[in-house]
Amino acid sequence: MEKYYIGLACSLHDPAIAIVNSSGGVLFAEAAERHLQSKRGIGCPPDDIAFVSRLIEHHCDPEAAFEIAITWSKGYLSYLKTLSMMGWFNHPKKAFEPVVHRITKMAPHDVLWMSKLQLSTINQAGSSLEVYLRSTIGNNKIKYAYYSHHLTHAATACYTSPFQQGVCLIVDGRGEHGSITLYRYRNSKIELIQRQKGTPSLGFLYILITEICRFDPLNGGEGKAMGLASYGSLDSTIYTLLKSIFKVEGCNLRYATSFNKMQRCIAKLYAMKRETNSSPLESANIAYTGQLVFSELMTELLNNIYELNISDNLILGGGCALNSAFNGKILDNTKFKRMHIPCAPGDDGNALGAAWLSCYRDYQDNTLDLRIHRPYLGSSISEVSLGNLHRQSKIKRIRHLPKNVEKAAATELAHGKLVGWVQGRAEFGPRALGNRSILADPRSAKIKDKIDRLVKLREPFRPYAPSILHQHGDEYFEKYQESPYMERTLKFKREVVDRIPAVVHCDGTGRLHTVKREWNNRFYNLIYAFYELTGIPLILNTSFNVMGKPIIHSIEDAIGVFFTSGLDVLVLEDYLIEK
């Protein structure tokens, strides 16, 4: 009998759903923020009933058996329920995570509402799916499984890696027990080596940095702080204060001083917080120094892990694996020979890990299709909506170009046009990897400012990524590494910087996206056509959204952004629309 495994990522933020069949094949994986069009989906269900019913009808046999896999353990859920029953959620002074709000200066009531929301999100995960299956379909073949949060991170990272064996490090804000967990991966099995207990957290360190820079950690502020860091320089006072909070001992993160001294250091750091209406550039030294401390602690941790002599292959997951500025330095600064970071290392990716864990438990004696080589696992553009657009929109400048849309789009790019590019299935994870992208010619330094002002409406200190044909990577980057998911930042060679100023950050780096024909044929053809026209084998690539909104999900979203922004061209599958 066919069985489906529905992974539900149900943290406070970044809820997501993944559907895996009994062979381990991924039928669907996507963050809820996309269809809800609510940035990061704070407190939203991963299985919204209207959306999940369509997914089941499209991808599954609704009368088959289903297992709903949750990305937090039963023990953690029971812990939250117990605290709620004891009334702790109703009394800010009894906040059960005092360290969180003391380190990050979050108000106790903020910690409490977040804790309440997390309990609600975990507790209700699967309810809509179950109601649909039982009430609408009459299907009672439903089971639940609960997994350790960090184990689901590890499953996503390990099962998507190209390695048969490796050491897997999970680093984030927090799991059930702590913020760091270490695993051995070998022959499709994930073995726990060490689990840190307690509250020290590199994720909280970056929240602290983000808040002092006066960015919002719940709405992508960490990425802003990371981009701002390149504009700053070392501040020895800030460095000393940050280093006095955390230290690495072996494969664990510890507090470096007494709690009272730590609080005094944090108070001094918050006294440096940027004024509300001042330029973000005033916080550049804080961002630079914070990024440096984060990198030093992570490097020390990784070097200590390597000394355990488990593997030369590093598999990295958890929210801290989104720090692309650090990721690009790992192979240079540690003894690891190879590294893998999945397309969705954060909490949204855990939906896939949980589904795979359930599938592997049932079918571990069989050969399972556990590896994905492409991140294009999300929703497709509606063919009905696309047909309606062509027939009913009365848009005059629309062309159907099934044989040469890539060349036509490349020509528009070469003429300096800003192009919205929508193809196939959406990417799983936070990066636009050539299917839901805004594209531009990297040769003009002015194009970045144009995108900032007319489309993205975001701060000018944030860089844009280069998508580059793999065979030309060595020509443009020092110590080139493949970066299939835009997960690492590398240094451009000095002699190419003037050719592509729009994608070169102020420190001479770029968060590159490696493109191969076998990974994304149409996007490869587009870049190759641009290369034939210009001699430049890369283009500027950023996510198809405006600041504060998720990446577009539907044709209606794409059309809305197109006609309310400075985009010049919109490509929807084979259709090219011009203003």
Per-position pLDDT tens, the chain of length 579? 789 999 999 998 999 999 999 999 999 999 999 999 999 999 899 999 999 999 999 999 999 999 999 999 999 888 888 766 666 555 544 443 444 444 555 554 555 667 778 888 999 999 999 999 999 999 999 999 999 999 999 999 999 999 999 999 999 998 998 999 999 999 889 999 999 988 899 999 999 999 999 999 888 899 999 999 999 999 999 999 999 999 999 999 999 988 888 888 888 999 999 998 899 999 999 999 999 999 999 999 999 999 999 999 999 999 999 999 999 999 999 999 999 999 999 999 999 999 999 999 998 766 666 666 689 999 999 989 988 888 888 888 999 999 999 999 999 999 999 999 999 999 999 999 999 999 999 999 999 999 999 999 999 999 999 999 999 999 999 999 999 999 999 999 999 999 999 999 999 999 999 999 999 999 999 999 999 999 999 999 999 999 889 999 999 999 999 999 999 999 999 999 999
Residue spans of the domains in the chain: they are: 3-160+346-372, 202-340, 378-578
* CA-based nearest residue to 530, from 441, 462, 458: 441
From residue 535, alpha-carbon distances to 440, 518, 538 in Å are 15, 22, 9
- According to CATH, the topology of domain 3-160+346-372 is Nucleotidyltransferase; domain 5 (3.30.420)
Determine the pLDDT at residue 120.
87
Determine the pLDDT at residue 95.
42
Residue 69's φ and ψ, nearest 5 degrees, are -105, 120
Type and span of the H or E element at 379: strand 376-380
Torsion angle of alpha carbons 524, 526, 527, 531, nearest 10°? 130
Q: Do domains 202-340 and 378-578 have the same CATH topology?
A: no
| Cα 385 to Cα 395: distance, rounded to the nearest angstrom | 14
Determine the pLDDT at residue 370.
62
- According to CATH, the topology of domain 378-578 is DHBP synthase (3.90.870)
Residue 373's φ and ψ, nearest 5 degrees, are -110, -10
CATH superfamily for domain 202-340? ATPase, nucleotide binding domain (3.30.420.40)
Q: What region, left, alpha or beta, does residue 87 occupy, with left being phi > 0 and alpha being psi -120 to 50 degrees? A: left
User: Angle 202-212/259-270 helices, nearest 10 degrees?
Assistant: 30
Owner of token pair 């094949």: 25
From residue 358, alpha-carbon distances to 126, 144, 146, 324 in Å are 15, 10, 9, 30
Strands (E), 50-160: 65-70, 142-146
